[in-house]
Chains A and B, each alone.
Chain A
């Protein structure tokens, strides 16, 4: 659809912006410590800035936390309580959920801030917009639900419950077991990773393309009538930016709640 809109407009205008966003935006060149395992590119710098912002803002908030909260502290507390009650306790229950609250809070708040970097002027790219960051979060969830399953049901008990679900006629295990294994080891972490990553990539491309066209029609194009089209593109870019804020929060929420659900699936079923 994006391509259709883009190419349609281009053929109409018989011109195109000199610089369009591309997947190269997500593969920026190394700018520090090139060639070492500690090489840094633009996205990693964005990630560092986001980390420092989290450490400073939430650290100062926590250090100054009082019994009677200020408005800002109240807002932070609302987020913490939302994750604890609506995400973790509603899924796992309070007894089981208690130990996962810090993990899910870390995942939610970090992904939220990292995602929001995508619409911060100057950063303009989500810190989660390389495959690695979502993958690291997904692996954390993966190890957490594996460990939980083994701790709660034993190695044999956990794999048996996962790979050979009870109440299925045994010939079905021939096809069911590989699917279950694939789901446990690949599909769950991969779906977490790709959902987040693809959302960030798509969001960045949509916003950047809209704004690039707005820039092109308003400033670069010689035909000043086309500035009207540029205003349309700018309005679209504006709307998509607002939409990206929503997507940033939504994806953080989805990642957090799916992690919780995967962990809860590692607990033995109660009948």
Chain B
């Protein structure tokens, strides 16, 4: 392989001046490009992207917090409403039973009143009947006795005292009968 070995191999390892010059110039241009344009540009893109992602995450977090809060509020209200409803139900039940009790009381009172009135009027009518009966019985008895005794009972005083004692007996007998 003479061809491969051709030329002085050591020359490969000796930098040439113009090569150094151009290598430095090219590297400098590329370094400036990478340092001043390429890397900052992409760094800005990366930063912006991560800021955006972070912002979105925060936004989502906030939305979730808001939703949690709203849910809590809603649940609180629901609970409150439930308590209120049961309160209202209890109140209504109490009110209803009170109304029923009132009505019953009133009805009882009225019934008592009616009974009492009826009894009172019965009693007074009885009394009236008794009084009128007393008068009639007296008259009837007088007439009957007059008829029986005829003229024997002419004396007025004897006549009326006898009638009274008869009526008193009759009245006592009647009240005894009523008690029994």
Binding site for B on A (CB under 8 A): 2-3, 6-7, 19-24, 26-27, 30, 33, 36-41, 43-44, 47-48, 51, 54-55, 58-59, 62-63, 65-67, 76-77, 80, 101-103, 105-106, 109-110, 130-133, 135-137, 140, 197, 201, 205, 209
Smallest CB separation, B21 vs chain A (Å): 5
Pick from B5-13, B96-104, B137-145, B166-174 the stretch touching chain A.
B5-13
Instruction: Tell me, in angstroms, the Cα distance from A30 to B19 when the chains sit together.
Output: 10
Q: Are B23 and A65 within 8 A (Cβ)?
A: no
Q: Are B27 and A140 within 8 A (Cβ)?
A: yes
A-B contact count (CB 8 A): 128
Instruction: Tell me, in angstroms, the Cα distance from A109 to B7 when the chains sit together.
Output: 32
Residues of B within 8 A of A3 (CB): 1, 4
Residues of B within 8 A of A48 (CB): 22, 26
Instruction: Tell me, in angstroms, the Cα distance from A201 to B7 when the chains sit together.
Output: 14
Let me know if B179 is at the binding interface, CB within 8 A: no
Q: Are A27 and B7 within 8 A (Cβ)?
A: yes
Q: Are B39 and A101 within 8 A (Cβ)?
A: yes
Q: Are A59 and B33 within 8 A (Cβ)?
A: yes
Of B5, B11, B22, B49, which is within 8 A of A47 by CB? B22
Instruction: Tell me, in angstroms, the Cα distance from A63 to B3 when the chains sit together.
Output: 48
Q: Are B11 and A27 within 8 A (Cβ)?
A: yes
Contact count band on B: 35 or more
Interface of B is mostly: helix
Smallest CB separation, A268 vs chain B (Å): 27
Of A22, A58, A197, which is within 8 A of B6 by CB? A22
Within B7-54, the residues touching A (CB, 8 Å) are 7, 9, 11-24, 26-27, 29-31, 33-35, 37-39, 41-42, 45-46, 48-49, 52
Given A20-B3, A27-B11, A27-B12, A54 and B22 contact (CB-CB distance below 8 Å): no
Q: Are B45 and A65 within 8 A (Cβ)?
A: yes
Given A40-B22, A59-B38, A23 and B6 contact (CB-CB distance below 8 Å): yes
A-B complex: 9 closest residue pairs judged by Cβ atoms: A20-B3, A39-B18, A132-B19, A106-B34, A62-B41, A132-B15, A22-B6, A136-B23, A102-B39
Smallest CB separation, B6 vs chain A (Å): 4
Chain B: CB-nearest residue to A3: B1
Given A62-B41, A106-B34, A51 and B26 contact (CB-CB distance below 8 Å): yes
Residues of B within 8 A of A131 (CB): 12-15
Chain A: CB-nearest residue to B22: A44
Instruction: Tell me, in angstroms, the Cα distance from A2 to B4 when the chains sit together.
Output: 10
Q: Are B27 and A22 within 8 A (Cβ)?
A: no
Q: Are A20 and B4 within 8 A (Cβ)?
A: yes
Instruction: Tell me, in angstroms, the Cα distance from A130 to B23 when the chains sit together.
Output: 10
Q: Are B15 and A67 within 8 A (Cβ)?
A: no
Instruction: Tell me, in angstroms, the Cα distance from A174 to B118 when the chains sit together.
Output: 143
Chain B: CB-nearest residue to A19: B3
Q: Are A6 and B34 within 8 A (Cβ)?
A: no
Smallest CB separation, A124 vs chain B (Å): 16
Residues of A within 8 A of B17 (CB): 37
Smallest CB separation, B9 vs chain A (Å): 6
9 residue pairs A–B, Cβ–Cβ below 8 Å: A20-B4, A22-B3, A22-B4, A30-B18, A37-B17, A47-B23, A77-B46, A102-B34, A135-B15
